[in-house]
Structure 1
Amino acid sequence: MSVAIPFLAFLLVGAFAAYHRLRLAYWAAITVTVLLACWLLGANGVATAVAALLVAAIALPLLIAPVRKALITAPLLKFFRKVLPPLSQTERIALETGSVGFEGELFTGDPDWQKLLDYPKPQLTAEEQAFLDGPVETLCKMINDWEITHVHADLPPELWDYIKVNKFFGMIIPKAYGGLGFSALAHHKVIQKLSSISSVVSSTVGVPNSLGPGELLNHYGTQEQKDHYLPRLALGQEVPCFGLTGPFAGSDATSIPDYGIVCKGEWNGANVLGVRLTFDKRYITLAPVATLIGLAFRMYDPDGLIGDTQDIGITLALLPRDTAGVEIGRRHFPLNSPFQNGPIRGKDVFIPLSQLIGGAEMAGKGWAMLNECLAVGRSITLPSTASGGAKAGAVVTGAYARIRKQFGLSVGRFEGVEEALARIGGKAYAISALSQATAAAVDRGDVPSVPSAIAKYHCTSMSREVISDVMDVIGGKGIILGPKNFAGRSWQAAPIAITVEGANIMTRSLLIFGQGAILCHPWVMKEMKAAQDPDEKRGLEEFDSNLFGHIGFAISNAVRSIWFGLTGAKIGAAPGDDYTRRYFRKLDRYSANLALMADVSMLTLGGKLKFKESLSGRLGDVLSHIYMTSAMLKRYHDEGAPQADQPLLAWAFHDSVHKIETALSDALRNFPIRPVGWLMWALIFPLGRRAEAPGDRLSRRVAALLMAPNEARARLAEGVFLTPGENNPGGRIDSYLAKAIAAEPVERKFLKALKSKGIEALDYASQLDEAVREGHITAEERAQLEELRELTLDVITVDDFDTEELRSAGFRTAAQQSESREAA
């Protein structure tokens, strides 16, 4: 036994040092001290000496810098340069334009959770809150989504006018240019509220405030461009759109075939230097009504009129609608959600260089400009739209499930419906937290390329799952379109959000982990820059420092992974309160797992990793759900850690944790190098998988929250338009909930009398009369039941139409023309 003690001490001290990330010199000093103590206490002298020699063999070459650099670092640098995956110019720009916020902590294996909790709680200014309570509320009351989607296939003129006059298109434009100058949080709240009543209106307002001329001019425009266009955009005198996607370049925006040739031409009566454009764009939101077109194209200068470079690169320009040669006005018809969307085409369209966004100096820099603005757009518009729809779906469907009865029981009491309601409530909570977190990141000054991809993908995907469950719960109420339907249009619009701003499949399999593994990793980007440094001496110094920092980091995450796996992440310091501390410990474990998997995948697969999209997608899921759960915990503590919200937090958290372990398991079982996968399994799941999906008891608690007025339900509904009105069937249903619950005891008493006391009447009104006469209910209770009957009828009634009402104008016109021909 005395022979094993020195080696056991060697391993334990090494594990302790790795877990706590002690410096190599400290590890060596502690290990030597412990070995000396072992020897003095009677450990085998030879074994102790051998262990000490192991310490010296490891520590001395690494601690003596000239030896380390000559024997280890230089050969590894040479090898690293050979295996370093080549980055295209577009990939390099994408990595360099993004910034890293708290998501960078998730790749460390030991996140600083207190840093997250110390971020200020996102709050609106008094002016922003007044805008939500005033113009936004008024606009929501003006919306008749049935008329927009079925009758007009557009916003009616009065809505267009109200949006323009009240500067809805100018939320992100600074006040100095006549805009509202709102925060990203306010932008998020406005879109969230509008989307809870109409996805067409939210899209119409959202696009000019995300990727579009306003955003681009604000960041990159010349002073002359800002002075001219921004006030006009803020006041709605110009309606903007942005042409990026084309038939042969969808998600691959860097391969756009649209081009512009530098030449001279006529502009406003003068012969000037400019660009002659040929382009074919589609899926462009607001294009049919736009007066100002932003355009992305590849710029060429074959005659060297502005420099020595022929292929200048992707460039952005502004085109007034009436520019000669522009074809615009036709519309696409996106899944019966008819927001203004259509193609833009042009051939030999001439514009001067002054129409390039940022002027001639910004020619060729369009991809960097787009990357920054795309990140902001993904962070706000689409996640906020998903949040509004999911939250509205949760509270209205909860009310519907309580009011709607089958077999004498609220349908929400059936276990199958409870499961669906729990998914709706839990995912709505997660979407709300995630969408607010990305808006807050923008307000902190980040350009959150990785979180924006996470939010875009998961908010829109979960929102689609939410509306699917909503449709299951409400049944025929959801599939019969008409003014009384609160969910049908959301169901139709759900696939739109997962398609735009980069298809979700691409976002998951390429962007999230692909960018995160390099951009957010604490060492990889530094090593890449050091390896590419033209100054050999400086490059070697930087690479040496980063390489051994990375090695220690990897060893630490391996130790932390196996420790957390063996202990179930139940031991260790963590922030939060008594309820959330265990959640933070679990996230520590998964952060270590992610960091370890990222290092092993990059080390063993090298440049091939970016082609392993299934692996990348699964590791992206791990990163996404760690980020998502951190957003939930931040929200929970920002709200004052309300006990009433714990079922929602617990359901959403356990759902994410189950998906994290599923993704890790799938990644390991399918790892391209099988022995590596087996080894990693032993480190990450030493006792097997333990996380389980939310159970029935928890699901029942979440469903109950949605089906009764309470503070947790009210918090979930914050920012959703629920004002009851003729044009808001969801708001009406929600407003009936308290009355329906209050009437339930009387209803049970009446039904009991109906079944057992011999009431002979057949119609409802006569049954109530008889129940009052027989003393089963009072006159006041009868009035309560009549009110319940009326509101229940409004909840469950669906629309019907005359056949002619459903026929299109084109059909009617054709029929009239046919009748005219027959009459002639």
Structure 2
Amino acid sequence: MTFSFLSALIIGLLALAYLRAPAWSAAALSALGLAGTSVVAVAWPVTALLAVSTIVFATLAVHPLRRALISAPLFSWFKTVLPAMSATEKEALDAGTVWWDAELFSGRPDWKKLFDMPPPRLSEEEQAFVDGPVEELCAMLDDWQINRELKDLPPEAWQFIREKRFLSMIIPKEYGGLDFSAQGNAAVVTKISTRSLTAAVSVMVPNSLGPGELLMHFGTDEQKDHYLPRLSRGEEIPCFALTSPQAGSDAASMPDEGVVCKKTINGEEVLGLSVSWDKRYITLAPVATVLGLAFKTRDPDGLLGGKEHLGISCALIPTNTPGVEIGSRHLPGGSLFMNGPTRGKDVFIPMDWLIGGRERIGQGWRMLMHCLAAGRAISLPAQGVAGGKAASMLTGAYARIRYQFKQPIGHFEGIEEPLARIGAEAYRMEAAHKLTMSALDRGDKPVVLSAILKAYHTEANRRVINDAMDVHGGKAVVEGPGNYLSMNYQALPVSITVEGANILTRSMIVFGQGAIRCHPYLLKEMTAATDNDLAGFDKALWAHVGFLISNAVRAPVLALTGARISRSPVTGPTARYYRQINRLSAAFTFTADLCLLILGGKFKFAEKLSGRFADALANLYLASATLRRFEDDGRPEEDLAVLDFAVQDSLNKVEEALYGVYRNFPIPALGPVLRLINFPLGRRNVPADDRTGRKIARQLLEKSATRDRLIHGAYVSTEEDGTGIVLKAFDAVLKAEPAEHALRNALKVVPNPSNVHAVTAKAVKAGVITEDQAADLIRAQELSARVIAVDEFTPEQLDITQTEAPRLAAAG
């Protein structure tokens, strides 16, 4: 009887914890159980335990009593262990907003919030721009010419970019800009990136973090009226200088400085700053006419009447200002966009050159964090999406065109593996990118999701390009106009390095910032401690305790039941994935909460653990976005293979990341216990099987609806260039496929560029194929031969001194 009675009470309390019921309900249940002991005979320790639990829960339910007896002492202790936070760290934490990332950090995501987001759409004007000017720009770009001959965009491309206002996509129409949405901006950058990264970078930077965006949000009316129309018309080319040789990721440590001073100009004393700087890696600097600059600000003489160290400020400086050094170039690997250093020594700038004027002095870091919270999600992730689209389009085509052992190489299982990965990565990247753009267009500034997109999309781009290179083999490593992969491959480190290297973004930003911003109570506790607000601390602390207990119950219950008891917002074959995300969200949140509790302020230095938590959070978001895309596309059955592959891969990575945390938990003995609590039946999510991968590969090898969706928005060349020829050959090979099968069946021969004329003549004579089919086969093989061929260069086209020297030595 005692066992049954106690079991019923424990189950009841666990159910209340699972449902996140308030403390008073637990007190009521304990009191009910205590009263029940007078009716049901139980052992006296059970009665004592119930009495104690009733008192404890009642104390927790009475807020003033709880605050006085428990919260006040904890508050005093918490303030002593709270890690010091610099002004720049606080401003970074205050920047942006949270959305679905916070739901994933809740342990009980509300799927309605995901589906409340409007589906991604381009306006008619944006679509017309993508179909018109963007298509025209792509047609005039030749990556070999740009990167190996001109080392720059051709003059006519620069002129077209200015005339069509590519540099002002984010500027409002009242100032002459295009005023595109985040979706529109991203669609433009994505399409150009499938053609030329040099052009894409040249277009995206003025529409990302830089003078235009800073002016729109923080500029004075005079600054907006002067600069924004000129930027819109392309009369001004902007750049923004933040990175110093001694301060890369740690931008707050920049040595660049502006000192408040006065200078006599035309007989009038002007208040301003004497600024010195040394910046590098500044995109568009060599061609810029206006320089955005971030620097530390000091007022040693008290000319502004306040403290000496004022913080970081941002200014706009015409590049023809005396003392401004600009014009040299860096050469970024694989994509020679305009990039270089800028320097200045004691350059005097009037106070009204500060962005926002004198009132914004010292607010530069906050301004930069505000803009970066959104901008980081658009451009560099768009390049990742473009890489996925281009790799799907071109690698699928090449694997169908290229024959070895009398069959397309895409039919080999070894090639099916990278093809499947390419298709799944492309599908997943675009899903997360478009979903995040929808959040931006709704007015959100998802700072954590922006960091996830930047880090994980640029890494995914690296993976798809590596896979594409492997499939193409020698075709991809011999440079020349016909090689459409090598320069993108060489340029990969650029996007991975800029706007915070991915090592930093993963290890310190995604979860380091996400843990505080996304957690429902942690920031509230920290703010209450900083503001000495005991009541606020008490409320947040005990909500946090209940949150922790709830997830400690939810995680094993969902694991033991296979998450079948949790809710999915949809029915059908994808419902199980929603339930798995529910389960893993609870496990992730419970594990992260305990880790943060144990390490406290030391967690900011536990970068390996933070990186693993970042992997888990990022892949929960990527899986959620992939599922949402499937619904937005109308749940096409043919896309189930690519969805299964992408989601299973993400969920597998979540489990892998959490297992990595358990193996390296701060208290080693607790790691196996947590693994048993959260994964009592072991890991449940495995990568997709070979059959799923084969379906994806075959969809890329033919004209399929899935392939069309994957490559939609990429530039499809119809010219006689590298990509144009491979796509023409792909079409021709597919058209000639029936005739090829006829030859295989009747003549037991496979046509190739060497025998195609002879075997088609024989087949026509034998009545196996028609003359039109023979022509199709000949065209397909001729185009295939051009695709397979690699570029050759005469000694005159190279360096004749280098090529002749070995010959002369041998002759001697």
Q: Give the TM-score band, short-chain normalised.
A: over 0.9
Per mean C-alpha deviation after superposition, the further-off stretch among 562-571 and 182-191 is 562-571
- The amino acid of 2:65's aligned partner reads V
* Cα pair 1:210 1:376 within 8 Å, conserved: no
| Structure 2: unaligned runs, 5 residues or longer | 805-812
Provide the rounded CA distance (Å) in 2 between the counterparts of 1:786 and 1:443: 51
Counterpart of 2:233 in structure 1 is 235
2:742 pairs, out of 746, 749, 753, with: 749
State the shift of 1:755 in Å.
Answer: 4.5
Residues 358-397 of structure 1: matches in 2 within 5 Å?
358-397=356-395
Counterpart of 1:63 in structure 2 is 61
1:18 aligns with 2:17: yes
1:138 pairs, out of 136, 139, 145, with: 136
Residues 50-129 of structure 1: matches in 2 within 5 Å?
50=48, 52-129=50-127
State the shift of 1:797 in Å.
Answer: 2.3
- The amino acid of 2:770's aligned partner reads T
1:778 aligns with 2:755: no
Deviation per CA, 1:574-616, whole angstroms, max 9, x where unpaired? 2123122211111111111221122111110111111110000
Per mean C-alpha deviation after superposition, the further-off stretch among 126-135 and 191-200 is 126-135
2:658 pairs, out of 664, 679, 689, with: 664
State the shift of 1:266 in Å.
Answer: 5.0
SS of 1:273 mapped into structure 2: strand
Provide the rounded CA distance (Å) in 2 between the counterparts of 1:349 and 1:61: 65
| Structure 1: unaligned runs, 5 residues or longer | 816-824
* Cα pair 1:39 1:45 within 8 Å, conserved: no
Per mean C-alpha deviation after superposition, the further-off stretch among 196-205 and 373-382 is 373-382
Deviation per CA, 1:326-361, whole angstroms, max 9, x where unpaired? 111111111131000001011111111110011011
Deviation per CA, 1:230-249, whole angstroms, max 9, x where unpaired? 00001110000000111100
Provide the rounded CA distance (Å) in 2 between the counterparts of 1:35 and 1:576: 43
From the superposition, tell whether residues 756 and 712 of structure 1 become closer, same or farther in structure 2 (CA, over 3 Å): closer
Provide the rounded CA distance (Å) in 1 between the counterparts of 2:723 and 2:587: 43
Counterpart of 2:810 in structure 1 is none
State the shift of 1:103 in Å.
Answer: 1.3
1:346 pairs, out of 324, 344, 352, with: 344
Counterpart of 1:404 in structure 2 is 402
Provide the rounded CA distance (Å) in 2 between the counterparts of 1:388 and 1:466: 11
- The amino acid of 1:710's aligned partner reads S
SS of 1:379 mapped into structure 2: coil
Provide the rounded CA distance (Å) in 1 between the counterparts of 2:749 and 2:627: 52
- The amino acid of 1:788's aligned partner reads A
Deviation per CA, 1:132-185, whole angstroms, max 9, x where unpaired? 111111111111111111110100110000000000000000011110111111
State the shift of 1:28 in Å.
Answer: 3.0
State the shift of 1:800 in Å.
Answer: 1.3
2:459 pairs, out of 458, 461, 477, with: 461
2:780 pairs, out of 759, 765, 788, with: 788
State the shift of 1:751 in Å.
Answer: 4.0
Counterpart of 2:576 in structure 1 is 582
Deviation per CA, 1:542-585, whole angstroms, max 9, x where unpaired? 11111111000000001011112212223322212312221111
- The amino acid of 1:740's aligned partner reads V
State the shift of 1:480 in Å.
Answer: 1.7
* Cα pair 1:94 1:368 within 8 Å, conserved: yes
1:769 aligns with 2:761: yes
From the superposition, tell whether residues 762 and 714 of structure 1 become closer, same or farther in structure 2 (CA, over 3 Å): closer
* Cα pair 2:756 2:781 within 8 Å, conserved: no
2:540 pairs, out of 509, 527, 546, with: 546
Root mean square deviation, CA, Å: 2.1
Provide the rounded CA distance (Å) in 2 between the counterparts of 1:269 and 1:125: 54
Counterpart of 2:808 in structure 1 is none
- The amino acid of 2:589's aligned partner reads A
**Percent identity of equivalent pairs:** 48
* Cα pair 2:598 2:666 within 8 Å, conserved: no
Residues 406-421 of structure 1: matches in 2 within 5 Å?
406-421=404-419
Provide the rounded CA distance (Å) in 2 between the counterparts of 1:316 and 1:269: 27
Provide the rounded CA distance (Å) in 2 between the counterparts of 1:222 and 1:723: 44
- The amino acid of 1:413's aligned partner reads H
Counterpart of 1:220 in structure 2 is 218
Counterpart of 2:313 in structure 1 is 315
SS of 1:138 mapped into structure 2: helix
Per mean C-alpha deviation after superposition, the further-off stretch among 98-107 and 566-575 is 566-575
* Cα pair 1:5 1:43 within 8 Å, conserved: no
* Cα pair 2:423 2:696 within 8 Å, conserved: yes
Counterpart of 2:678 in structure 1 is 684
Provide the rounded CA distance (Å) in 1 between the counterparts of 2:338 and 2:584: 43
- The amino acid of 2:24's aligned partner reads A
1:602 aligns with 2:596: yes
TM-score, with length taken from structure 1: 0.94
Counterpart of 1:290 in structure 2 is 288
Counterpart of 2:475 in structure 1 is 477
Counterpart of 2:807 in structure 1 is none
SS of 1:806 mapped into structure 2: coil
- The amino acid of 2:769's aligned partner reads I
From the superposition, tell whether residues 36 and 408 of structure 1 become closer, same or farther in structure 2 (CA, over 3 Å): farther
- The amino acid of 2:716's aligned partner reads L
Deviation per CA, 1:48-83, whole angstroms, max 9, x where unpaired? 634532431322221233321121111111111111
State the shift of 1:756 in Å.
Answer: 7.3
From the superposition, tell whether residues 43 and 123 of structure 1 become closer, same or farther in structure 2 (CA, over 3 Å): farther
* Cα pair 2:511 2:613 within 8 Å, conserved: yes
State the shift of 1:477 in Å.
Answer: 1.7
Counterpart of 2:170 in structure 1 is 172
1:278 pairs, out of 264, 272, 276, with: 276
1:734 pairs, out of 698, 721, 727, with: 727
From the superposition, tell whether residues 631 and 323 of structure 1 become closer, same or farther in structure 2 (CA, over 3 Å): same
TM-score, with length taken from structure 2: 0.96
From the superposition, tell whether residues 34 and 739 of structure 1 become closer, same or farther in structure 2 (CA, over 3 Å): farther
From the superposition, tell whether residues 486 and 110 of structure 1 become closer, same or farther in structure 2 (CA, over 3 Å): same
* Cα pair 1:174 1:180 within 8 Å, conserved: yes
Per mean C-alpha deviation after superposition, the further-off stretch among 7-16 and 193-202 is 7-16
* Cα pair 2:334 2:488 within 8 Å, conserved: no
Provide the rounded CA distance (Å) in 2 between the counterparts of 1:48 and 1:662: 41
From the superposition, tell whether residues 755 and 130 of structure 1 become closer, same or farther in structure 2 (CA, over 3 Å): closer
State the shift of 1:111 in Å.
Answer: 0.7
State the shift of 1:425 in Å.
Answer: 0.6
Counterpart of 1:822 in structure 2 is none
- The amino acid of 1:403's aligned partner reads I
SS of 2:376 mapped into structure 1: helix
Equivalences, count: 802
- The amino acid of 1:340's aligned partner reads M
From the superposition, tell whether residues 268 and 711 of structure 1 become closer, same or farther in structure 2 (CA, over 3 Å): farther
Provide the rounded CA distance (Å) in 2 between the counterparts of 1:798 and 1:268: 65
From the superposition, tell whether residues 602 and 218 of structure 1 become closer, same or farther in structure 2 (CA, over 3 Å): same
Provide the rounded CA distance (Å) in 2 between the counterparts of 1:640 and 1:269: 71
Provide the rounded CA distance (Å) in 2 between the counterparts of 1:72 and 1:679: 28
- The amino acid of 1:341's aligned partner reads N
Counterpart of 1:801 in structure 2 is 793
Deviation per CA, 1:187-210, whole angstroms, max 9, x where unpaired? 010000000111011000000000
From the superposition, tell whether residues 597 and 263 of structure 1 become closer, same or farther in structure 2 (CA, over 3 Å): same
SS of 1:498 mapped into structure 2: helix
Per mean C-alpha deviation after superposition, the further-off stretch among 509-518 and 625-634 is 625-634
Per mean C-alpha deviation after superposition, the further-off stretch among 408-417 and 390-399 is 390-399
Counterpart of 2:690 in structure 1 is 696
From the superposition, tell whether residues 267 and 678 of structure 1 become closer, same or farther in structure 2 (CA, over 3 Å): farther
* Cα pair 1:267 1:352 within 8 Å, conserved: no
State the shift of 1:430 in Å.
Answer: 1.2
State the shift of 1:801 in Å.
Answer: 1.6
